[in-house]
Structure 1
């Protein structure tokens, strides 16, 4: 029984490794955002860090849509260094 469990776990880990290699071989295309872009965001995966500068900087967001497709968009954001107070 332990041997069967070990074989199943080895098979599953091989598929997981192959999926990771596939993702590395096909990196996501970075789309450029503008105000006319229709976004279908079901889940935000990651947001880039906005630097502490007082100027417009590039930022990225990776998200999943409602069909579980992953997207990465690049947009412009104001840096966090302009706060007065």
Structure 2
């Protein structure tokens, strides 16, 4: 019985870690970022003004993170 509870708790811990890695974090000015490798950046919206963009990256320990920040859209023209 103890082995079953141990296995279930390990599975729950790994599941929680995977969920935490995919959690989107909103960028705040002055954040201490540890970006070792950028995996993906969502395309900038075709709007005139600031639009949210998400960057997926690995930190120096290999953990995956998703950071959301604002970028000026590509929809403005002169």
Q: TM-score, normalised by structure 1?
A: 0.63
Aligned-pair CA distance for 1:83: 4.7
Higher helix share: 1
Aligned residues: 61
Q: RMSD over aligned Cα, in angstroms?
A: 1.8
**1:3-42 superposed matches below 5 A:** 26=19, 28-42=22-36
Q: Please list, as runs of the form range in 1=range in 2, the aligned pairs for 1:1-85 lying within 5 A after superposition.
A: 26=19, 28-84=22-78
Offset from partner CA, 1:27-63 (integer Å, 9 cap, x none): 7111110111111111001001101211111110000
CA drift at 1:82? 2.3
TM-score, structure 2 normalization: 0.68
The structure that has the greater radius of gyration is 1
Unaligned 5+ segments in structure 2 are: 1-14
